[in-house]
Amino acid sequence: MVKTTGKGKNTILRSIYWFLDHPPKTNPTPNKNCRLIIDATWFGRNYCLLIYWDTDIQKVQLWRVASWERFEEISEDLGTLRTRGVILVSATSDGGKGVKLALEEEYPNIPHQRCLVHLQRLSLALITKNPRSHAGWEARQMALFVSRIRTRDEKDKWISYFENWCRRWEKFLKERTFSEDKKKWWYTHKSLRRLRGLIVNATPKLFYFLDDGKIRKDTNGLEGRFSSFKQHYRQHRGLSKKRREAYIAWYITVVINKELPTRNGY
């Protein structure tokens, strides 16, 4: 960088640290018909970046560095967006409890689309790659197909398949096993039972995108934008927490939102 700019190392470092000590603030663009994606990018177990991505104008309207996806913080963020003229007409998320409760409080009447890809990942995590039972094999095919649904006809066929699966394997899912060591009974096929409950709870929010083509059916587009971000972020782990958060703010502003940095603009 010294050779490229013709400036000394100390001069360059002073400029870098100036920007890190003067991070940009969120600058929402008013949008009365915002279709929002809410997602979290995680850095370890207790550190995440909450992103509010406006799919209509292709911009991160708001971000927050947090320790968890908390209802109170997400509700506050949605309120902040509203006061800045960003009014939601739909939202897409992974279905986390914090986001769900915040949307129910702030926007109880808008479609809240559950991310199909996230549901698929959770479902496949409950099933082995090579299920031993035929019920497990059928459940895996069902999970693999959900993210590929494109039409109402495919939706109806998938729901019908799931309902038939529940009826066909009802007795199988009720089977219990007795533990001689613990002297207690438990359901033999716990993972498949959890899968059934997961899909039952998610289904009412899975297909809003079929009624409005502008609603995103998953958060993959946003995840793709931040895939390279994590690689860059790891290179700056030696920074203090405050400067790491400043780096995040600058990355979102310049790289994601494509807003030029200036010493006077922020």
Give the CATH number for residue 1: 3.30.420.10
**pLDDT tens sequence across 51-85:** 999 999 999 999 999 888 899 999 999 999 999 99
Do 3 and 124 sit in the same domain of this protein?
no
12 and 68 both lie in a single domain: yes
Whole-number pLDDT of residue 3: 47
Sign for the CA dihedral angle at 173, 178, 179, 184 comes to positive
Residue 87: per-residue pLDDT: 98
Q: CA-CA distance, 81 to 266, in Å (whole number)?
A: 19
For position 2, what pLDDT does the model report?
44
What DSSP assignment string belongs to 111-137? -EEEPHHHHHHHHHHTS-SS-SSHHHH
User: In terms of residue numbers, what domain contains 95?
Assistant: 1-115+219-266
Residues 223 and 251 grouped into a single domain: yes
* Residue 37: predicted pLDDT: 96
Domain annotation covers residue 210: no
What is d(CA 133, CA 188) in angstroms, rounded to the nearest whole number? 12
The total number of structural domains in the chain stands at: 2
Report the amino acid identity of residue 254: V
Residue 213 belongs to a domain? no
In a domain? residue 50:
yes
Whether 125 and 244 map to the same domain: the answer is no
Low-confidence ranges of the chain (pLDDT < 50): 1-3, 5-6, 265-266
Q: Token pair for residue 14?
A: 């002073």
